[in-house]
Structure 1
Amino acid sequence: MNKTISITKMQKEDWQEVKDIYLSGIKTGHATFQEDAPSWKEWDKSHLEECRIVARMDEKVIGWAALSPISSRCVYGGVAEVSIYIDELARGKRVGSSLLQELIQKSELAGIWTLQASLFPENEASMILHKKAGFKVVGTRERIGKLKGIWRDVILLERRSDKVGIE
């Protein structure tokens, strides 16, 4: 039987579940350069409040997506970086697609014209997810940083809105 997945605005009360999913992604070694999750206060400060969402099944958070500004300079006010993480047990069930589509809509309502994602090449599922949502590869940043002492490449993708920033 298919269970209903709902997408809602992320609340502070969701942080523990969001953090647990984030830590699970960190553990894969293919999701982020971060080696630990930040505190709620740090995370809250670095992500756009109007662009934070969670996917729920039976009231349990099974995935989340959020945007963070890429710069504090006003000229980049319409450009944001995507973070999207799916609970291990919910992967492959279109949760990521639903979250990313909702995040794109929210970003456009917030006046954001460019979304970018930085992905490790090994994160094939995330690469497919982003490409299906209209993201295009704009380049590879070779050996951009070390994770656990190993140099890693990052593929930079972006999606330009066809509704915002087109005038």
Structure 2
Amino acid sequence: MNYEIGVMIKEDWEEVARIYLEGINTGKATFQSDIPAWENWNNSHITSCRLVARLGNKILGWAALSPTSSRCVYAGVAEVSIYIGEEYRGKGIGKALLTNLVKLSEEDGFWTLQSGIIRENAASIALHKACGFRELGIREKVAKMSNGKWHDVVLMERRSKVVGVN
């Protein structure tokens, strides 16, 4: 498949939101239960680190960073979001997106990327490990889905070897 990794733009939102909803519907990709409006999503994510996998006019998947804190000492720490369209999972698109997001984040001065992944999402955990993340621990029954089911979250982190090292 000859897709390209590129910058996410506002006009991609409809397809990005569709893929996000596919993730929500799995019950193991996020605790989010509905798609936010573009303005809310846009305001909560870092503008310089948003990517899509694009095949012609079709978005296959996306990845973005959001800040973990408003405190200046955490300016180089961000949380990863990555979602792949249902029909494109398992084809290497996630690895391409996350690898490019890591590179872009380092160019933008981020020294730590973190992810909180629902324990049942083995594919996402494996993807993060393949891209240099390590497991920090597990938060047991930290959040409850709207269906009442509690889930553990695996905390993962990737420290840059080029940014924030002295």
TM-score of the superposition, structure 2-length normalised? 0.98
Q: Secondary structure at the match of 1:66?
A: strand
- 1:17 matches 2:15: yes
How many residue pairs get aligned? The number is 165
5+ residue gaps, structure 2:
none
Match for residue 59 of structure 1 among 57, 60, 69: 57
TM-score of the superposition, structure 1-length normalised? 0.97
Q: Secondary structure at the match of 1:50?
A: coil
Residue aligning to 2:26: 28
Please give the alpha-carbon distance, in whole angstroms, between the structure 2 residues aligned to 1:159 and 1:92. Answer: 22
Residue aligning to 2:74: 76
| Aligned-partner residue type, residue 132 of structure 1 | A
| Aligned-partner residue type, residue 50 of structure 1 | S
Q: Secondary structure at the match of 2:6?
A: strand
| Aligned-partner residue type, residue 152 of structure 1 | H
Residue aligning to 1:89: 87
- 1:162 matches 2:165: no
Q: Secondary structure at the match of 1:27?
A: helix
5+ residue gaps, structure 1:
none
* Cα drift, residue 144 of structure 1: 0.8
Please give the alpha-carbon distance, in whole angstroms, between the structure 1 residues aligned to 2:41 and 2:104. Answer: 19
Identity in percent: 56
Q: Secondary structure at the match of 1:49?
A: coil
* Cα drift, residue 121 of structure 1: 1.1
- Let me know the Cα RMSD of the aligned residues: 0.6
| Residue deviations 1:35-82 (CA, integer Å, cap 9, x gap) | 001000000000001100000113200000000000111111100000
Please give the alpha-carbon distance, in whole angstroms, between the structure 2 residues aligned to 1:160 and 1:59. Answer: 34
Please give the alpha-carbon distance, in whole angstroms, between the structure 1 residues aligned to 2:70 and 2:25. Answer: 30
| Aligned-partner residue type, residue 29 of structure 2 | A
